[in-house]
Amino acid sequence: MLEDLKMPTRMEVEEALLKSLFNHGGVIKEFGADEEIVEEIASDFNLNEQQRSAFLETIYKKENRLKRSSLLHRLLFRAADNLAKEKLVSRPTQTIQMTHKREWMLTENGYDKALKILGIPKVQKETLPIKSYEVEKIVKRLNEQSRPVNYDPFDHNKKTSKVSKETRLRNRGFRQAIIEAYDCKCAVCEMKIKSPDALQWEVEAAHIVPHSLNGKDDIWNGVALCHLHHWAFDVGWFTLKDDFKILASKQIENVPNNFGKIGNYDFIRQLSKETRVIALPKRKEIYPHQTAIQWHRENVFYYQL
Ligand SMILES: [Zn+2]
């Protein structure tokens, strides 16, 4: 009987929680609110029915009553509490202030630890869509800035010599903010696709004024594009008008027929036919800024015949 009730140690539960957080994009709901997570962890440990349904009875002396609580919930909560003390996760009480949801969220250190447990190289942090408390704060700031009339898309203070931890966080914040704003779709072709492990979106966060020219990591200087349209935008095959309609290069008329084709689909000529407005975010406040797209039209777009 006691053998059957042997539960995983706190360390083991802590690791399982970090893995679970990673597998759920960096956030999980409070345990009381999400039985799915509790079930998932119970299955990870191969817990039997007795272990899953074990209760702890606590006597509340003050109120002179008995409180029954699930042993598994208690273990999960204690492990999460400890992870929060070690600053590897943020508590639901902290997270709610930012996201309005009561969730546990990985911190940057927790993210690193999860990668280590899972044997995933740390460089993948730049592209994996896992939320972290620190990056989420940047995303929130980017989304909440009020839209300036005269926006300067250049970062004049940027030190180009070395990539600091802060720059990397900012890059990830930019990427996450743009991809979320465009609902993980390319603004031109609206393609939405993930890697087979369901972790990575294909869509990219493109800078309008390129990063290499000190373009800012602001939501107004970005647009979500698939790999192909990102490339075509960066080399000047198309740009955007002030009303966010696509403007394609006249040079398209000069390329041989077999250029830019994907089977029967004519990727490059299709751009000239597009006269509609690109797929934009829900809120106008975070649309690309006209000063940034004007710069792109004048400096990147290849118009001539
Ligand atoms: Zn596309």
pLDDT digits (tens, 9 = 90+) for 191-218: 999 988 888 899 999 999 999 999 999 9
pLDDT at residue 1 above 60? no
Backbone angles phi, psi at 199, to 5 degrees: -90, -40
Give the residue, 43 or 158, on which the prediction is more confident. 43
Task: Tell me what the mean pLDDT of segment 96-108 comes to.
Answer: 94
pLDDT at 3: 58
Give the residue, 27 or 64, on which the prediction is more confident. 27
**Distance of CA 82 from the midpoint of ligand 1 (Å):** 44
210: left (phi over 0), alpha (psi -120 to 50) or beta: beta
pLDDT at residue 117 above 80? yes
**Distance of CA 172 from the midpoint of ligand 1 (Å):** 21
Residue in 80, 66, 65, 64 with CA at minimum distance from that of residue 32: 80
pLDDT at residue 161 above 80? no
Task: Tell me what the mean pLDDT of segment 292-297 comes to.
Answer: 96
Residues with CB under 5 Å of ion ligand 1 are 186, 188-189, 226, 229
Instruction: Give alpha helix (H) positions in the chain.
Output: 10-23, 35-44, 49-52, 71-85, 92-99, 108-118, 133-144, 165-181, 227-234, 267-273, 290-299
Q: What percent of the chain has pLDDT over 70?
A: 94
**Distance of CA 174 from the midpoint of ligand 1 (Å):** 19
pLDDT at residue 126 above 90? no
The one-letter amino acid code at 130 reads I
62: left (phi over 0), alpha (psi -120 to 50) or beta: alpha
Predicted confidence band of residue 64 (pLDDT cuts 50, 70, 90): confident
Q: Which of 201-210, 284-293, 295-304 has the lowest mean pLDDT?
A: 295-304
**Distance of CA 190 from the midpoint of ligand 1 (Å):** 6
The residues that bridge with 215 in the sheet, in sequence order, are 154
**Distance of CA 224 from the midpoint of ligand 1 (Å):** 9
The residues that bridge with 205 in the sheet, in sequence order, are 224
Predicted confidence band of residue 292 (pLDDT cuts 50, 70, 90): very high
